[in-house]
Structure 1
Amino acid sequence: MKKVNLSTHLTPYIILYSAFIVCAIVGMLIYPDTFYKFFSPTELSRTIPSQLPQKSYYWDIEHYANMALQNTCTAFYPFWGFIITHLFYPQSLEQYANYFKITATAIFCISTPLVFWIFKKALKNQYLALLITLAYTLNPMAIFRVIGYTESLFSLLGIFLIWLLLPENKLNEKIKLILLSFLSILMALTRPVLIPMIFACLFSLITIFLLTKQLSKSNLFRTIAISISAILGYSIYGFSCLQSRGDFFAPFHDQKLWGKTLGLHLDLLFFPKSPLFDLLGLYLPVLILIISLIIIYCKSKNQKLLVFIPKLFIWDILIIYPPGLVLAYILNYWRGAKKEIMTSKFTKSLQNNYLFWFCIYFSVINSLIVFFTQNRLVSLGRYIFAIPFFFLALGYLYCCFPGERKYKNLLFVSIVSAIALVQQWIDYGKDQWLG
């Protein structure tokens, strides 16, 4: 029997937990109020109370708590509050906020090893899976998975959805569809993801058909199951809103009060008018989609792929400001400094990988919705980087390229992210906007 080295087996999980905890501790040491705010069951007294729009003590958690306390229908969704209500029976805003934090942190502790385990299965590369999971765990938006927001619950549901869609999952197809339907209902009751889920499914199906000229029954049934269940999940909430407010689409209408309306704001391509993470959330999913389509198409047609290959470290730094990265790359490409790039055999397998396309389209559609409905990219970084879909798509793309540079790139990104995460903890203690 093959012996299992327990310390080696546990090392990745120790790294993931330790990295996040160290960032939190550093933030708390720099600004001690962060420690008291996170662990206190009651709101800290402030010399100058928090005031919107610059500051708020609880931010969105207050809305979820009041929604559960008053049993009302708002732009927020009910499942997170429903869970806390029936687990702990809190009677006040402060009690809700405290139990939100406790439950979110517990989910974070449970879900982190699950993410690594599933990424390892999907990517078939333990080191790459660890670095991708580290980037997911240390990115600045990861703070939302422990401070009481819905990202913790939605990420856990998303992880189970990913597991069900894994090509390596040999579970009976009928059972998969039942579980996919159940998860989709819960996800649609947790966050406003009805449109992203439906379009992610449809575009995944269309993309696979265009690339392979085949329409798989399993992919068709998955699309139908997820789409109908997402509609059903929203409908449960919609009928509740119809009874309480006489408006089935009240959550959508309430979002208009936040200034959401269709429009084209080209200045957002350069200035997010919100934290820089939001600009990354706009560019990176779209860039990954474009790169994926190009390399997968070329691989399937056995065509040469001529690209400009950056070599200087400055290119890694430019990732922090994507518009600069894109413009610099286009200029270098036009100058004719192009070389053929080789991709791995793994690349061709992605053309009919439903999970990969779902993950990237889910992220892209969230980016586009924010870009075309808001006059600033507020909260976009949270929609993309606080949940696992984007990171799995990124991991799949990295699998297409041989060589060690991708590991160095991920390590650099994780280091920068860790610094930003420390700042997020400091801002949390100061009641400032986090994303």
Structure 2
Amino acid sequence: MKKVKFSIYLTPYIIIYSAFIVCTIVGMLIYPDSFNKFFSPTQLPRTIPPQLPQKSYYWDIELYANMALQNACTAFYPLWGFIITRSFHPQNLDQYANYFKITATALFCISTPLIFWVFKKALKNQYLALIITLTYTVNPMAIFRVLGYTESLFSLLGIFFIWLLLPENKLNEKIKLMLLSFITILMALTRPVLIPIIFACLLSLITIFWLTRQISKNNIFRTIAISISAILGYSIYGFSCLKLRGDFFAPFHDQKQWGKTLGLHLNLLFLPKSPLFDLLGLYLPILILIISLVIIYCKTKNQKLLVFIPKRFIWDILIIYPPVLGLAYMLNYWRSVKKEIITSKFTNSLPNNYLFWFCIYFSVINALIVFFTQNRLASLGRYIFAVPFFFLALGYLYCCFPGKRKYKNLLFMMIVSAIALVQQWINYGKDQWLG
């Protein structure tokens, strides 16, 4: 009996790992250079060398490596390079790239079972947790968690951050705050998340007060601790930049070299000028936020919510291009029969769930920053789908609806994502842009 139970316990983890490995193998079989490039410890010679800015062998990894080699202050953040430098003492670009990949893959292997465990605790539904974890693991942006980018480290930190904020976590509150502060400092030293973190905290508090007309001391202390720690984390790097370049805000100023300036680019609502998943990264967090606010508000006010409920498979396909989905829904909303949405008891716990609001606002703020500061949505898919916050918010929303039909569109999206992940491995072998 013990062997049977142990086997059943391991099955979800085997499924999760296998899904990613199968996509990787298929991509490498289709384009063997992907295998050679990933497992080579040095840059492979190319008949026609990649030419920037269209193509690059290492992409951002080269910039992280050069930053560490030169002890420089740039638009990138220092913790990832610092860890590799202190752990392996690489001496050149190729060595850095190799150790980045090895460490990223190791962190991916560690974080994958952890994310399923955390999602299962949060969602209280093993089947839903498995599907959400699979969607997180085999989406095309998941490739960044093994190639040597910061997504591997940031995702692992994000998992611990989520675990500390789980309502089910019974750790002493003071210990939680200390650990949250430490994790937040590390996150702020890994990627430029100062603004998303602070706004996500503040908007979470505001939303909880709006829905419940009360705010717990714990949530106030969490907001203060996380916000101050995010500022402290950036300040550590900022003072280093001040010493090296005489500019405390040099990482922000350097982003202007990427063409980042405030502006309104309405054309990006329809054409991302980058991979389609960047467009999904813009729409899906905002849609989930709007749906969540409407459903939870109506629930707290005991109001009926009458909506058009799509039933045909074509609606699942339309998710791939949100602008058409939104237009089609609005047209059908006015002329179709509306039904009352029935929500589960789980919905009652969300108005005061600080973690849920933080996760969705963190994703929305990242999406809005890219939309208002770039003339294309480049890399937005990475910010949303390569880290766990969006997926937990999505899982929480799915918990609000009873029944099993809700899983169909998730399963469809997972299949589409898996195909896109295979394509990403092919693109990787061709030195093409991944997101």
How far residue 286 of structure 1 moved from its aligned partner, in angstroms, is 0.1
Residues 144-159 of structure 1: pairs in structure 2 closer than 5 A: 144-159=144-159
Residue identity matched to 1:44: L
State the SS of the aligned residue for 1:75.
coil
Q: Normalization by structure 1: what TM-score?
A: 0.99
Aligned to 2:284: 284
Equivalent residues in 2 for 1:48-59 (5 A)?
48-59=48-59
> 1:64 maps to which residue?
64
Q: Which residue of 2 aligns with 1:43?
A: 43
Which residue in the other structure is 1:73 paired with? 73
- Give the AA of the match of 1:65: A
Question: How far apart, CA to CA, are the structure 2 residues paired with 1:47 and 1:416?
Answer: 33
Displacement of 1:406 in angstroms is: 1.7
Query: TM-score normalised to the size of structure 2?
Result: 0.99
Q: Residues 387-430 of structure 1: CA distance to partner in whole angstroms, max 9, x if unpaired? A: 00000000000000011122111111111100000000000000
The size of the alignment, in residue pairs, is: 435
Identity over aligned residues, as a percent? Answer: 86
Spell out the pairing of 1:156-171 with structure 2 (5 A cutoff): 156-171=156-171
Counterpart residue type for residue 203 of structure 1 = L
Q: Hey, what does 1:109 align to over in structure 2? A: 109
Measure, in 2, the Cα distance between the counterparts of 1:47 and 1:405: 51
Counterpart amino acid of residue 223 in structure 1: T
**CA distance in 2 between partners of 1:19 and 1:391 (Å):** 17
Partner Cα distance (1:431, 1:263) in 2? 31
Whole-angstrom distance in 2 between the partners of 1:12 and 1:194 = 35
Matches within 5 A, 1:410-429: 410-429=410-429
Deviation for aligned residue 1:337: 2.5
Unmatched segments (≥5 aa) in structure 1: none
CA deviation after TM superposition for structure 1 residue 235, in Å: 0.2
Does residue 341 of structure 2 align to residue 341 of structure 1? yes
Which whole-Å CA distance do the structure 1 matches of 2:73 and 2:389 have between them?
28
Shift of 1:335: 1.4
Partner of 1:267: 267
* SS of residue matched to 1:351: coil
1:133 aligns with 133
In 1, the alpha carbon distance for the partners of 2:4 and 2:115 equals 21
Moved more, 329-338 or 118-127: 329-338
The within-5 A match list for 1:177-196 is 177-196=177-196
- Tell me how far apart the structure 2 counterparts of residues 167 and 158 of structure 1 sit (CA, whole Å): 16
Instruction: Tell me the equivalent position of 2:210.
Output: 210
After TM superposition, give the deviation of residue 4 of structure 1 in Å: 6.3
1:95 aligns with 2:95: yes
Runs ≥4 residues deviating over 4 A: 1-4
Give the unaligned 5+ runs of structure 2.
none
Q: Distance in 2 between matches of 1:178 and 1:10?
A: 33
Code of the aligned partner of 1:413: M
Rounded Cα–Cα distance in structure 1 between residues aligned with 2:405 and 2:196: 33
Q: What SS does structure 2 have at the residue aligned with 1:352?
A: coil
* Structure 1 position 173 matched with structure 2 position 193: no
Q: For 1:310, give the aligned amino acid.
A: P
- 2:414 is the counterpart of 1:392: no
Shift of 1:232: 0.3
Give the distance between the partners of 2:400 and 2:2, measured in 1 at CA. Answer: 32
Equivalents in 2 of 1:54, 1:267: separation in Å? 23
Q: CA deviation at 1:118?
A: 0.3
**Amino acid in structure 2 at the alignment position of 1:284:** L
Q: Which residue of 2 aligns with 1:357?
A: 357
